[in-house]
Amino acid sequence: MMQFVADGIVSAALIALGAIGISMTYNILRFANFAQGEILTIGAYFTLLLVSLIGAGIGTLGPVAFGWPLLVSIVFAMAATSVVVLVVDWLLFRPLRNRKAARITLIMAAFGLSLMGRNLVTLIAGGEPQYYAFFIPKAIEILPGVRLVPDDFAIIGIAIIAFAALFLFMNRTSMGRQMRAVSENPTLARINGIDVRAVIRWTWIIGASLATVAGALLAHNTQLRPEMGFDMLLPMFAALILGGASNLYGTILGALVIGLTEAIAVSLGLAGYRAAITFMVMLIVLLFRPQGLLGEKE
Amino acid sequence: MVEPMLAVRDVEAGYNPSLPILHGISLDVFEGEIVTVLGPNGAGKSTLIKAIAGLLSISRGSVTIGGRDITGVETHQLIRERVAYVPQTENVFAKLSVEENLALGALHNPDQFAEQRRRVLDLFPDLERLGHLAAGKLSGGQRQMVAVGRALMADPTLLMLDEPSAGLSPKLAQVVFSQLIRVKQVGVTILMVEQNARAALKISDRGYVLAEGQEKVQGDARSLLDNPEVGELYLGANSRLARS
Ligand SMILES: Nc1ncnc2c1ncn2[C@@H]1O[C@H](COP(=O)(O)OP(=O)(O)OP(=O)(O)O)[C@@H](O)[C@H]1O
Ligand SMILES: [Mg+2]
């Protein structure tokens, strides 16, 4: 019982970490980034590269089966992934923006990138599953009869720290305010002296950094595969729409609903149907709240 | 001869390069003035301000501020030229609090934030108690104060206002106009577009009447108020009403 709640929250944390980037590109660059899954994947593989460069395994932290070597690798991978994403924006999305390309053009470009990204990862890293380290998850008994995996708590903790940092950034810093201003009214933002190009750069950096954390933790919990991020795309979009696309915190709430629904489906022995069940829940919620859980009516 | 603070020379601009809306407009604003641009709906008043602000591309002519050429300036650089602009609609960040709107106004002069905030709150004392509210939750008059307050936070030398009294009751419009006099008194030059011709000219030094993308009449505010041609061009069928 407790374990399925923990599983649900862990997958919610990973979905939310990945989906925040989609939410931010959607609200600031105004298109649905279907290449977000590959950003997770690239983040996870960069982490693998750094883990092997450091060459000290992934360490441990008390009962948790990963430690500083993995965390340090993730931080460097965040930077590397951000650079890749910024270069792609500069080469592809920036010229499209400057030519005032239609939204559907941006979306199709993202689709193309998604395919390319997956192929490129397969080409460079190979298609077979890989691991940061071999370990056997050891559940510990926290209450009589209730056994939980410490790594799950570490992952949830990291996600909470990331969300708190994001919240502080958006509400307490000048750049966070500028991002909210551009997402609401880009023209007034420019009139107000906001350099939208700088805001766009930060949008990519934050989205890619959180996606890297999601990808690396997902890979730690499961395995690295070139399709790992793509497989997260549907739950991430479901979380975004369910939570209300215009609201960053709605995305986190949406992810929680999606993650728990998936976990319930699995615990009922319906693992094979979990995508269908998740979408049914999403559709039912949208029937009653078309703007999403925390979205505003237009 | 005094140099104008803002000089618009023979500007042609529009939303589509093949279809100019402004057909060679010229206009001057001198330091310390309030200048009002009048004209019927669709005359190109908002288009003129957007062109000055770099939101539209200018296909001919020039815009200078304090002698510096700012034709086709990138809009976000305008504030560095110390020109602030309050658009006709959607002129506050509705989801952000009043305080956040003001803070964004001082984006490029954060070290002056406390001082400018004091100055704005002296002008609009109501904003103090509304500070934590989302700007979108405010009434039309309060919102207009936030919009003007946000623009003043940048410590501009020139403030451009597009219909500051639009959508307000006549009484509130009067409040806004008397606040603009105080803005002028603290040393800010004002260029505004107004439909409320009579009330606007009363607080103005000079005015221009635009029609079909060209300036048709200009002069000091008093002479425009008494000018029958202005009534015909601008006030049209409503001339008697507006003059009463
Ligand atoms: N975004 C736009 N795209 C294309 N044409 C536009 C746009 N906005 C305005 N126009 C056209 O430009 C002309 C001038 O419009 P503008 O908004 O400058 O008028 P205005 O004098 O400000 O009128 P109002 O008093 O109604 O605000 C009009 O013919 C209008 O249809
Ligand atoms: Mg107008």
pTM, 2 dp: 0.91
In a domain, B128, yes or no: no
Residue B17 Cα to ligand 1 midpoint, Å, equals 15
Closest-CA residue to A11 (of A248, A265, A249): A265
Distance from CA of A184 to the nearest CA of B (A): 7
Q: Region B197-220: what's the mean pLDDT? A: 89
Nearest to B232 by CA among B244, B242, B219: B242
ipTM attached to this prediction: 0.90
Q: Are strands B22-29 and B34-38 parallel, antiparallel or unpaired?
A: unpaired
Element (H, E) at A188: helix A186-191
Q: Which fold has domain A2-288?
A: ABC transporter involved in vitamin B12 uptake, BtuC (1.10.3470)
Provide the residue range defining the domain that includes B2: 1-82+194-244
Q: Is the pLDDT of residue B17 over 50?
A: yes
User: Judged by CB atoms within 8 Å, which residues 178-217 of B form the interface with A?
Assistant: none
**Does the distance separating the beta carbons of B76 and A194 come in below 8 Å?**
yes
CB pair distance less than 8 Å for B110 and A174: yes
Nearest CA in chain A to B153: A192
Domain residue spans of chain A: 2-288
Any domain includes B4: yes
HEC string of A134-165? Answer: CCCCCCEEEECCEEECHHHHHHHHHHHHHHHH
- Considering only CB atoms, which chain A residues are within 8 Å of B154? 193
Q: Whose CA is nearest to atom 2 of ligand 1?
A: B15
State how far the Cα of B146 lies from the Cα of B140, in Å rounded to an integer.
10
Q: What pLDDT score does A58 carry?
A: 82
Show residues of chain A in contact with B104, CB under 8 Å: 177-178, 181, 192, 194
Tokens of A44: 């996870």
Q: Which of A262-276, B83-97, B129-143, B197-211 has the lowest mean pLDDT?
A: A262-276
For position B203, what pLDDT does the model report?
A: 94
- Residue whose CA is at the smallest distance from ligand 1 atom 1: B15
Q: Which residue of A181, A194, A196 is in closest CB contact with B96?
A: A181
Q: Is the CB–ligand 1 distance for residue B14 below 6 Å? A: no
pLDDT tens by residue, A185-201: 999 999 999 999 999 99
Q: Tell me: the pLDDT tens digits for A100-115? A: 999 999 999 999 999 9
Of A174, A180, A190, the CB nearest to B76: A190
Flag whether B27 is in a domain: yes
pLDDT for A152-182, tens place per residue? 889 999 999 999 999 999 999 999 999 999 9
Are B217 and B36 within 8 A, CB to CB?
no
* Residue A136's pLDDT band (cuts 50, 70, 90): confident
CATH number for the domain spanning B20: value is 3.40.50.300
pLDDT in tens, B86-105: 999 999 999 999 999 999 99
- Dist. CA A10 → ligand 2 center (Å): 52
Domains identified in chain B, total number = 1
